[in-house]
């Protein structure tokens, strides 16, 4: 029997495809059904509002979830969750942040460039070298967006050497 997310994926994918959108992910946690959509160039709020109405009507007609729920339709964002092998493959060459499951050998938090992704797991190039992680060992992962504009340095904090005179 298909899971709730699989039923929702099968229902919404043709509707999204017709609009030139890609279904990035479906999450069902508690009373929230989150549908993440994307397309080249991104999505805007007007499109998300239209898609939300269309998906809401389609879900109401088929009723794939028992009970009441809140539908959220959004883009995966700049710091995208990575949950499936295809998410990791699409993020190759970008900086990622991974938290491993308790009991996994090594540090629980890994940040670095995603250098490999296959059916079994990923390899992250971090400061301490390359680390291979099986998907089953990953609790949570997402891409990391560099919020600092290119060519800009952070402003020194109070108490730094900036502006202080030095004596020879």
What is the pLDDT averaged over residues 68-97?
95
Residue in the structure block whose two tokens are 């009991």: 103
The boundaries of the domain holding residue 110 are 85-143
Q: What is the pLDDT of residue 161?
A: 41
pLDDT at 5 over 60: yes
Instruction: For residue 23, count other CB atoms closer than 10 A to its CB.
Output: 17
- Supply the pTM of this predicted model: 0.77
| 166 part of a folded domain | no
Looking at the DSSP assignment, which residues form a beta bridge with residue 99?
A: 109, 140
Q: Do 97 and 136 belong together in one domain?
A: yes
- What are phi and psi for residue 18, nearest 5 degrees? -65, -25
Q: What is the pLDDT of residue 4?
A: 84
Residue in the structure block whose two tokens are 């502006």: 163
**What residues contact 73, with CB distance under 8 A and at least 6 apart?**
34, 35, 36, 37, 48, 51, 52, 55
| 39 part of a folded domain | yes
Domain with residue 128: its CATH number is 2.30.30.180
| Domain count along the chain | 2
Q: What is the pLDDT of residues 96-140, one digit of tens each?
A: 999 999 999 999 999 999 999 999 999 999 988 999 999 999 999
| 50 part of a folded domain | yes
| Cα–Cα distance, 50 to 54 (Å, whole number) | 6
């Amino acid at each position: 029997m298909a899971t709730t997310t699989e039923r929702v994926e099968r229902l919404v994918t043709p509707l999204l495809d017709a609009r030139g959108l890609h279904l990035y992910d479906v999450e069902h946690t508690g009373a929230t059904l989150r549908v993440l959509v994307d397309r080249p160039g991104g999505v805007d709020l007007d499109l998300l509002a239209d898609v939300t109405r269309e998906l809401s009507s389609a879900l109401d007609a088929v009723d794939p979830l028992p009970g009441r729920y809140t539908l959220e339709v959004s883009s995966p964002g700049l710091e995208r969750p990575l949950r499936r092998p295809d998410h990791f493959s699409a993020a190759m060459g970008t900086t990622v942040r991974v938290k491993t499951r308790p009991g996994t050998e090594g540090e629980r938090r890994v940040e670095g460039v995603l250098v490999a992704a296959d059916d079994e797991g990923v390899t992250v190039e971090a400061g301490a070298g390359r680390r291979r992680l099986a998907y089953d060992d990953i609790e949570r992962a997402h891409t990391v967006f560099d919020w600092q504009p290119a060519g800009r340095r952070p402003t020194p904090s109070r108490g730094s050497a900036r502006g202080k005179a030095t004596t020879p």
